[in-house]
Amino acid sequence: MILSDKEILENIAKGLIVIEPFRPECLGPNSYDVHLGKVLGVYVDEVLDARKHNRIELFEIPDEGYVLQPNMLYLGVTEEYTETHVHVPFLEGRSSVGRLGIDIHATAGKGDVGFCNYWTLEISVKKPVRIYAGMPIGQLIYFEVKGEVLNPYNRRPSAKYRERKPIPIESMLWKHFATPSPVNEGNCSP
Protein backbone atom coordinates (compact mmCIF):
# COMPACT_ATOMS: atom_id res chain seq x y z
CA MET A 1 0.00 0.00 0.00
CA ILE A 2 1.30 3.48 -0.93
CA LEU A 3 1.29 6.17 1.75
CA SER A 4 -0.99 9.17 1.24
CA ASP A 5 0.13 12.75 1.87
CA LYS A 6 -1.47 12.60 5.33
CA GLU A 7 0.38 9.35 6.14
CA ILE A 8 3.68 10.79 4.91
CA LEU A 9 3.22 13.82 7.19
CA GLU A 10 2.29 11.62 10.17
CA ASN A 11 5.39 9.46 9.63
CA ILE A 12 7.57 12.58 9.35
CA ALA A 13 6.14 13.79 12.68
CA LYS A 14 7.04 10.40 14.23
CA GLY A 15 10.58 10.52 12.81
CA LEU A 16 9.98 7.39 10.69
CA ILE A 17 10.47 9.39 7.47
CA VAL A 18 12.99 12.24 7.28
CA ILE A 19 13.23 14.66 4.35
CA GLU A 20 15.71 17.55 4.64
CA PRO A 21 14.92 20.15 3.57
CA PHE A 22 11.18 19.50 3.75
CA ARG A 23 9.05 21.85 1.64
CA PRO A 24 5.28 21.46 2.12
CA GLU A 25 4.60 22.57 -1.47
CA CYS A 26 6.51 19.50 -2.72
CA LEU A 27 4.13 17.07 -1.04
CA GLY A 28 1.71 15.55 -3.54
CA PRO A 29 -1.36 13.39 -2.84
CA ASN A 30 0.82 10.27 -2.48
CA SER A 31 4.42 11.34 -3.16
CA TYR A 32 7.08 13.91 -2.40
CA ASP A 33 8.93 15.81 -5.17
CA VAL A 34 12.74 15.83 -4.98
CA HIS A 35 15.15 18.14 -6.78
CA LEU A 36 18.43 17.85 -8.65
CA GLY A 37 21.48 18.71 -6.59
CA LYS A 38 24.22 20.98 -7.93
CA VAL A 39 26.87 18.28 -8.47
CA LEU A 40 27.11 15.83 -11.39
CA GLY A 41 29.62 13.09 -11.94
CA VAL A 42 30.94 11.27 -15.01
CA TYR A 43 33.14 8.20 -15.11
CA VAL A 44 36.78 8.88 -15.98
CA ASP A 45 37.44 5.66 -17.92
CA GLU A 46 35.80 4.86 -21.26
CA VAL A 47 35.39 1.18 -20.32
CA LEU A 48 34.00 0.38 -16.88
CA ASP A 49 35.01 -2.77 -15.01
CA ALA A 50 32.65 -4.38 -12.47
CA ARG A 51 35.62 -5.76 -10.50
CA LYS A 52 37.40 -2.41 -10.21
CA HIS A 53 36.71 0.87 -8.47
CA ASN A 54 35.68 3.06 -11.40
CA ARG A 55 36.49 6.66 -10.50
CA ILE A 56 34.23 9.59 -11.32
CA GLU A 57 34.97 13.22 -12.00
CA LEU A 58 32.63 15.63 -10.17
CA PHE A 59 31.60 19.08 -11.37
CA GLU A 60 28.99 21.66 -10.44
CA ILE A 61 26.11 22.56 -12.71
CA PRO A 62 26.63 26.24 -13.64
CA ASP A 63 23.86 28.81 -13.13
CA GLU A 64 23.14 28.81 -16.87
CA GLY A 65 22.54 25.06 -16.74
CA TYR A 66 24.37 22.13 -18.28
CA VAL A 67 23.54 20.29 -21.50
CA LEU A 68 23.38 16.52 -21.06
CA GLN A 69 24.32 14.47 -24.13
CA PRO A 70 22.92 11.14 -25.37
CA ASN A 71 25.12 8.02 -25.05
CA MET A 72 26.55 9.31 -21.77
CA LEU A 73 25.91 8.27 -18.20
CA TYR A 74 25.74 11.06 -15.66
CA LEU A 75 25.53 10.52 -11.94
CA GLY A 76 23.43 13.13 -10.20
CA VAL A 77 22.23 13.55 -6.64
CA THR A 78 19.09 14.80 -4.96
CA GLU A 79 19.13 18.05 -3.01
CA GLU A 80 17.17 16.23 -0.34
CA TYR A 81 18.64 13.96 2.31
CA THR A 82 16.15 11.26 3.31
CA GLU A 83 15.71 8.58 5.95
CA THR A 84 13.14 5.82 5.76
CA HIS A 85 12.90 3.61 8.85
CA VAL A 86 9.81 1.42 8.36
CA HIS A 87 8.75 1.94 4.73
CA VAL A 88 10.17 1.05 1.31
CA PRO A 89 10.97 4.24 -0.61
CA PHE A 90 10.71 4.29 -4.40
CA LEU A 91 12.20 7.09 -6.47
CA GLU A 92 10.50 7.64 -9.80
CA GLY A 93 11.08 10.29 -12.42
CA ARG A 94 8.49 13.02 -12.78
CA SER A 95 6.41 12.77 -15.94
CA SER A 96 7.46 16.27 -17.04
CA VAL A 97 11.11 15.18 -16.80
CA GLY A 98 10.40 11.97 -18.73
CA ARG A 99 8.73 14.02 -21.47
CA LEU A 100 12.07 15.75 -21.99
CA GLY A 101 13.63 12.32 -22.56
CA ILE A 102 15.46 12.28 -19.22
CA ASP A 103 15.76 8.96 -17.36
CA ILE A 104 16.83 9.42 -13.73
CA HIS A 105 17.70 5.85 -12.88
CA ALA A 106 18.95 2.91 -14.88
CA THR A 107 17.75 0.21 -12.47
CA ALA A 108 17.88 1.50 -8.91
CA GLY A 109 14.53 3.14 -8.18
CA LYS A 110 13.78 1.14 -5.04
CA GLY A 111 15.41 1.96 -1.74
CA ASP A 112 15.49 -0.22 1.35
CA VAL A 113 13.99 0.10 4.79
CA GLY A 114 16.74 1.86 6.74
CA PHE A 115 18.13 3.82 3.78
CA CYS A 116 19.50 7.12 5.11
CA ASN A 117 21.21 9.30 2.54
CA TYR A 118 20.94 11.46 -0.53
CA TRP A 119 19.80 9.57 -3.65
CA THR A 120 22.32 9.05 -6.43
CA LEU A 121 20.66 9.35 -9.84
CA GLU A 122 21.81 7.41 -12.92
CA ILE A 123 20.87 9.97 -15.56
CA SER A 124 20.70 9.42 -19.31
CA VAL A 125 18.94 11.36 -22.05
CA LYS A 126 17.43 10.63 -25.48
CA LYS A 127 18.28 14.07 -26.93
CA PRO A 128 20.57 16.86 -25.74
CA VAL A 129 18.76 18.67 -22.92
CA ARG A 130 19.76 21.52 -20.63
CA ILE A 131 19.25 20.84 -16.93
CA TYR A 132 19.55 23.07 -13.87
CA ALA A 133 20.49 22.57 -10.24
CA GLY A 134 17.38 22.71 -8.08
CA MET A 135 14.97 21.63 -10.82
CA PRO A 136 12.31 19.07 -9.86
CA ILE A 137 13.73 15.71 -10.94
CA GLY A 138 11.74 12.92 -9.29
CA GLN A 139 9.24 11.87 -6.70
CA LEU A 140 9.50 9.62 -3.68
CA ILE A 141 6.72 7.15 -3.05
CA TYR A 142 6.55 5.19 0.21
CA PHE A 143 5.22 1.65 0.50
CA GLU A 144 4.21 -0.14 3.69
CA VAL A 145 6.07 -3.32 4.56
CA LYS A 146 4.21 -6.41 5.72
CA GLY A 147 6.04 -8.05 8.61
CA GLU A 148 9.08 -7.22 10.69
CA VAL A 149 12.30 -6.14 8.97
CA LEU A 150 15.18 -8.09 10.50
CA ASN A 151 18.05 -6.45 8.65
CA PRO A 152 17.48 -2.75 7.76
CA TYR A 153 19.91 -1.22 5.29
CA ASN A 154 21.62 1.10 7.77
CA ARG A 155 22.58 -1.88 9.98
CA ARG A 156 23.81 -4.27 7.27
CA PRO A 157 27.59 -4.78 7.31
CA SER A 158 27.51 -5.17 3.52
CA ALA A 159 25.67 -1.85 2.88
CA LYS A 160 27.88 0.07 0.45
CA TYR A 161 26.15 3.45 0.36
CA ARG A 162 25.81 4.47 4.01
CA GLU A 163 28.29 7.33 4.23
CA ARG A 164 26.30 10.59 4.17
CA LYS A 165 27.50 12.64 1.20
CA PRO A 166 25.60 15.30 -0.80
CA ILE A 167 27.37 14.23 -4.01
CA PRO A 168 26.80 11.43 -6.52
CA ILE A 169 28.41 8.15 -5.50
CA GLU A 170 29.93 5.85 -8.11
CA SER A 171 29.17 2.12 -8.29
CA MET A 172 30.60 0.15 -5.39
CA LEU A 173 29.95 -3.25 -7.00
CA TRP A 174 33.72 -3.86 -6.89
CA LYS A 175 33.41 -4.25 -3.10
CA HIS A 176 31.63 -7.57 -3.68
CA PHE A 177 34.90 -8.88 -5.10
CA ALA A 178 37.11 -7.33 -2.39
CA THR A 179 38.04 -8.68 1.05
CA PRO A 180 35.22 -7.99 3.57
CA SER A 181 35.86 -4.94 5.74
CA PRO A 182 35.05 -4.60 9.45
CA VAL A 183 31.44 -3.85 10.39
CA ASN A 184 30.72 -0.15 10.21
CA GLU A 185 27.89 1.49 12.17
CA GLY A 186 25.14 3.11 10.09
CA ASN A 187 24.79 6.86 9.95
CA CYS A 188 21.21 7.10 11.16
CA SER A 189 18.88 5.45 13.62
CA PRO A 190 15.10 5.20 13.93
Calpha distance 87→2 (Å, rounded): 9
Which strand (E) or helix (H) includes residue 119? strand 116-125
Confirm whether 7 is a catalytic residue. Answer: no
Q: What are phi and psi of 43, to 5 degrees?
A: -70, 140
CB-CB neighbours of 132 under 10 Å: 15
CB-CB neighbours of 78 under 10 Å: 23
Calpha distance 39→168 (Å, rounded): 7
**Which amino acid is it at 99?**
R
Q: Which of 122, 148, 163, 170 is catalytic?
A: 122
Residues tagged active-site = 122
